[in-house]
Structure 1
């Protein structure tokens, strides 16, 4: 493992994303030294992934840190323009399409629900906040780990959408060891956690066995959290599409259970609704 000394960053107290809806707090302290450990996602890595997950040590504590690639809303412009319109600025579209902001919104809502005691059990891997990487950290990961943060897609429009801040973004989470594999005895708990997330207006959109540890979802980079500009507009433009998005976790959960051959008596809402055949969604890896 290699230790990188972080330069003192400017004080960051802003909650993200800076738009209507739930927000995530910054990890503290932002200027802490990070001792980077091994990559945790190599077995599931692919070229169109949202980022990279590392084991890392901060202040003598082990964490899992997801470092996000830079994302340009123009990549999916054909989709969000359908609902938000061609004049919708990417400075706002990025809040509803960027995987980093997707995680910020989801974890912000989870924290809010826990603070208000609407949720008393841990239904997702615990998140400790977002983190901006220093240039030294970015260079170290690109050089030593050979990762590509997709800085080549940064143009003037994306630079403006990011407020001129071109530091890589990251989310700091608990380092979990999976001791409860999804099987007949644990699948009902996994479903309860997904159902609770849906009841909070969080739709993960990426339900698969690799996204669960100890029956809890570990990644929200593909999620939509209400209020969500695209989903709000879909309610007015295409109610069936909006309904499908809200039921997508149910459909994907059923598909996962069937593919894994897990026997369960669980009944999801998809058992009571006739959904249109699902196409591969643009926001999924």
Structure 2
């Protein structure tokens, strides 16, 4: 076989794989899997590695499906924005038919795998895909309230792990849900601030009241404070079996205050650089807090 043909085949396979990764947003999907796994570890005493594997795989398919459906729906608006115009669908590197096939396969596989853990886990997985695809995505061009709706599927993964481990949605899962729910407002509004002009071009309303001003940052600060409070409530033993030590609560609070610091800075400066720092500190928060909780649990 001609080496040029082999090279071309390798290149095209690489391009196909790269497009597939972009369509399903592999990086984001893995971060969601990470929080599901953390939720699972918080709930169990003895790790069932097969269940953990099924949860990770099912969760990955679930988020991949949501992202693929989202990009099919937003193909035309993605073409307008710099950040998204090079995605596989706006550039026609991938057809809608192929994207739809991937999205449907991922949905069916994800829900089936989660169902094999227990029906409740599958139900929450299905709700997540439905809300993200059928409610959040269309609402983005209608109202800033889209962020509230989008925060629901975005907050499901953390508690999904708990439900997978215990087969019940109780106060513990509720708290895990609330932590990730309130976290999303400062996180998404920081992105909304940075991408304001781009979103406006595409007709998306992503900031509260759709204005880039101090009022928007006041909302960011308000939700960051609520997020911090909800994150440390488990120290009071008000959240069922989900409990943290005082030292853990202090560490979690400090991480939240670090985020709050950039929120306050953004309120003063209204500059993109502070919005970017807020966004990065929010990613640090949602990465470290589940790890801190899990470490705390296993040190009990």
- The two structures have a TM-score, normalised by structure 1, of 0.34
Structure number with larger C-alpha Rg: 2
Structure whose residues are more often helix by fraction: 2
Of structures 1 and 2, the one scoring higher in RCO (CA 8 A, sep 6+) is: 1
